[in-house]
Structure 1
Amino acid sequence: MKLAIVTAYPPSKVTLTEYAYHLVKSFRQSEKVTELILLTDETPEAKDINFTEKGCKITVKECWKFNSYGNTTKVIKALNETKPDAILFNLQFMKFGDKKVVAALGLALPLMSKLKGIPTIVLLHNILEQVDLGSAGFTTNKLAQKIYNFIGTTLTKLILKADLVAVTMDKYVTTLVDKYKVDNVKMIPHGTFEIPENPSQKLPEGPMKIMAFGKFGTYKKVESMIEAVEIVRKETALDLEIVIAGTDNPNVPGYLENAKETYKHVPQLTFTGYVEENQVEPLFVESAVVVFPYTSTTGSSGVLHQAGSYGKAVVMPNLGDLTTLIEDEGYRGEFFEPESVQSLANAIKAIVTNEAYRIELGETNYKAATAYPMERITNIYLEEFEKIIAKKS
C-alpha cells in the first residue's frame, strides 16, 4: 500500500507533530506499506525522517503552511503528483490555521480526497462538542461561542464525509453518532509512542524535577504550576526543580517569554524551549512527576501516554477527557481542582513526599501504556483501509 499522511511534522511547531512522527515510525515498519508519502507543512529545517529501524521508502512533500489560503490547492496538487492508494489525515480543528476560512478550507480536504476516489480516513483528535471554548482559550463571549459551535457543526459534517472518522475516545463516538446520525465513526485508541522495557523508578541525583510538557498559552498555563511548586518548597523544604518543556501554542506567541520574565525571581525554573525528538526520553526519565497544568481539555492526551510509557507519576486536573482516560484506559494520577493553586500544590506534595506512592502510580501508568503500543494502533488503521478498499472494489 502506498499510504499518504496529511499532517504537521517535526520540526514543525504546529500541533500533533510528535504524534505524526510516531505514526510514521510505526507505519514504515509494516510489511503492508510499500511507501509513505508525507504531505506536510513547510519548515525551514529538513523533516526528521532519519529512522534507525528498517522500513519502507518515505517521500516528503511540503505542500501547506499554517494560515495559508493556498493550502487546499497545493495539497490536491501533491495528491495528483504522488497518486497514493490511501490517505490518512492527522487532524484537529485548528490544524491548518486559526483563521476561520483557512481552517475550513483545510478541513474540506478529506471530502475532496474521497471524491477523487482515494480511500480516506480522518484521525480527529478532538471534537468541538466536548471543548469548553472559554477555558480552552477560544472565546468567552456567548454570542461568539454560538458562532463557533455553528461553524464547528458545519465543519464536522464536512469531516464526516470521509470514508471513516477515527476518534480516540468512546464518548466521542457516541456524541458524533447521536448528533450527526452517521455510521462511519470508530474509536481507535491514541496509542503509546515508545515503550521502554521495565523503566526504572530510580531518580537521578540532584533536585526532583517537576515537569510539564506541551504547547502552552491557551488552556495549558504554567503560572499555577510554578506557584504551586513554590508552595510545596516552603511546606516541605524539598529540593525541587520546575521544568517547562515545550513551546508557545501558535495562537499565543510570546506566552512563555512573558512567563519567564514574570517568574525570573523563582530559583531552579527551567524553560527548555522546543524539545528535539531524541531529547524526549531523557526529559521524562529524569522527571519525578509530570504535571498537567490545564484549565480545560481538548482531546486524548499524548503527554499522558508518554508519561505512562516511561512509568511516571502524574498530576492532573479533575475534568473532562483526562478523567475519562483514567477510567477507560487504566491510568492513575493525583487529581487537583483546575482553578486552585493550593489544590495543585497539595497534589504535587502528595507524590513528592511519598516515594512508595510515586512508584506505585508510575508502575500502574506503565502497565496502562503497554496495552496500546503504536504498532497495534497502526495495524488497526491498515485493516480499516483494507476494508474500505475492498468495499470500493
Structure 2
Amino acid sequence: MKICLVTAFPPSKERLNEYGFHLAEQLRRKDYVSLTVLADQTPEISGELPGFDIVRCWKFNSITTPWDLLKTILQIKPDVVWFNLVFSSFGDKPVPAFLGLCSALLLRLAGFYTHITLHHIIETLDLSRGTRFPGLYRFCGAVATRLLLCCNSISVLLPSYRKVLLENYRGRNIHLSKHGVFAPPPEFPDISKRGHPEHRILAFGKWGTYKRLEVLIEAFTRLAQRLPNIKLVIAGSNHPATPGYIECVRDRWKDNPCMEFHGYLPEDKIADLFIDCSVLVLPYSSAGGPSGVAHQACEFAVPIVASDLPDFRDMADAAQIAIEFFESENPGSLAETLERLLTDPARRIEMAEQNFAVALRMTMQEVVSSYVYSFSRALALSRTLSRRGKRSSKFWLEPTRI
C-alpha cells in the first residue's frame, strides 16, 4: 500500500510536526506500506531525518499549496493520501489557510483516496482573542469543514467532535480514533523519587496563545508559601503566532531558584523531563482538541491537573485519563487543586497507575495499525465494486471506531 502523509514534519516546528513524525515512524515500520511524507518547506533544514522518504513540496502560508500537492501526488500515484490537520496547518493567514484545506477535496476530485485526521473543529475554538472578525472566521471555518467532509473519510479524536460533524453537518464516514501515546509499549517508571527531595510541577507545550503561564506562575507563588518543597519546571517553545513570549517570561523569573526553564526539548530528552515530575499542569484558557502533552504524561505515569474545559472533560471521559480539574484562569483554584494533590500521596499513585494503564491501551503502533486496516477495507471495497462494473465515487464505509 502506497501512502502519502501530508503533514508538518521535523525539523520544522509548525503545527502537529511531532504528531506527524510519530505517525510516519509507525508507518515506515510496516513492510506492506510504502510511505512518502509530503512535508512543509522550511529554510532552516540542514538535513532530513534518516530512514524517511520525505518530499518537501508545500510552504506554510502559500496560496499555491493545493496545486503543489496535486503536482507531487500525480507523480507518486499513492493508494491513500492521509492529511494530519488542524485548521491552521497550512497557514496562519486566512486565504492560504483556507486554500490549503481545499487540497484534500482537490485530490479527492483527482481520483485519490483521501483521509483526514482532524485534531479540532471550528465550533470548539476560542476566537475571541486576537481575531478581528471571529464571526467571519467561524463562518469560513464551517465552509472549510464542509469541504473536508467531502473527502473519502475523516477521523476525529473526541466523541463530541464526531457528534457535531454528524448532527450539524450531516457528515458521513466519520471515524472516532484514539490520539495515541508516542512511545512503544512503555514500562512503568520508578516513581519513588517523586517528591524527594522536592515535588516538581511540570508545564510543557508551545506557549503564548491560549496556552499562557501567568495563571500557573501566580498559583505557584501562592502555593510556595505553604509548601516549601516544590519547584516549577517550564519546558517548551513559543507558539508560532507569539514569538518571544517564553523568553519574556523566563527573563522576568530567571532569578527565582524555584523555577526552571528548559526551552525546546528534542524527543530523546522528554523522558527525563517527565519521569521525576509529580504532576503535569495544563493551564489553558481554551483547548484546541485533545492534549498531546496529556497523553505523554500518561506514557510516564504522571498525574494531571487541567483547566476545566469541555474538550479536556471529553478527553478524560473518553480515554479514562485521571485528571484533577480547576476553574479555568483562576490561580486560587489552581493552587488549591495542586496543594490537595501534592499532599495526598495515595491519590497521586492512583492517578499515576490509571494514566499508565491508558498509555498501554493506546500505543501509536496500535493506533496506526487501525488506520491502515481501515484504508485496506476501503480500497478492497473499491476494487470489488470496480470488478462488478459499478462506480465507486464515494468509498463510503459505515462509521466505525478506529
Identify the TM-score tier after normalising by the shorter chain. Answer: over 0.9
Distance 1:124 1:47 in 2: 29
Matched, 1:113 2:107: yes
Aligned with 1:290: secondary structure? strand
State the AA in 2 paired with 1:4.
C
Matched, 1:73 2:60: no
Please give the TM-score of this superposition, normalised by the length of structure 1: 0.92
- Give yes or no for contact 2:283–2:329 (8 Å, CA) kept in 1: no
For 1:194-227, what per-residue CA distance to the aligned partner results, in whole angstroms no more than 9, with x for missing partners?
A: 1421222122655432111111111111111122
User: 1:262: how far off?
Assistant: 2.9
Residue pairs, 1:1-393, within 5 angstroms = 1-33=1-33, 35-43=34-42, 44-46=44-46, 49-50=49-50, 58-134=52-128, 137-139=129-131, 144-194=133-183, 195-203=185-193, 206-238=197-229, 240-393=230-383
Distance 1:215 1:101 in 2: 24
User: 1:47: how far off?
Assistant: 6.2
1:53 maps to what in 2? none
Distance 2:257 2:217 in 1: 10
State the AA in 2 paired with 1:28.
R
- Give yes or no for contact 1:10–1:18 (8 Å, CA) kept in 2: yes
Distance 2:268 2:84 in 1: 22
Distance 2:345 2:64 in 1: 54
- Give yes or no for contact 1:169–1:300 (8 Å, CA) kept in 2: yes
State the AA in 2 paired with 1:174.
K
- Give yes or no for contact 1:203–1:287 (8 Å, CA) kept in 2: no
Aligned with 1:236: secondary structure? coil
- Give yes or no for contact 1:9–1:47 (8 Å, CA) kept in 2: no
- Give yes or no for contact 2:11–2:45 (8 Å, CA) kept in 1: yes
Aligned positions, number:
380
- Give yes or no for contact 1:84–1:118 (8 Å, CA) kept in 2: yes
Structure 2: state its 5+ residue gaps. Answer: 384-402
Distance 2:356 2:175 in 1: 25
State the AA in 1 paired with 2:173.
N
State the AA in 1 paired with 2:8.
A
Distance 1:284 1:304 in 2: 11
Distance 2:46 2:260 in 1: 27
State the AA in 2 paired with 1:275.
L
Distance 1:328 1:98 in 2: 30
Structure 1 residues 308 and 47: alpha-carbon distance in aligned structure 2, compared to 1, 3 A threshold: farther
Aligned with 1:20: secondary structure? helix
Aligned with 2:332: secondary structure? helix
- Give yes or no for contact 2:85–2:118 (8 Å, CA) kept in 1: yes
Deviates more, 1:309-318 or 1:22-31: 22-31
Distance 2:76 2:346 in 1: 54
Aligned with 1:161: secondary structure? coil
- Give yes or no for contact 1:10–1:47 (8 Å, CA) kept in 2: no
User: 1:269: how far off?
Assistant: 2.0
User: 1:316: how far off?
Assistant: 0.7
Distance 1:111 1:65 in 2: 18
Distance 1:30 1:285 in 2: 30
- Give yes or no for contact 2:66–2:106 (8 Å, CA) kept in 1: no
CA RMSD of aligned residues (A): 1.7
For 1:164-190, what per-residue CA distance to the aligned partner results, in whole angstroms no more than 9, with x for missing partners?
A: 011011111110111111212111111
State the AA in 2 paired with 1:79.
I
1:54 maps to what in 2? none
Structure 1: state its 5+ residue gaps. Answer: 51-56
Distance 1:314 1:14 in 2: 26
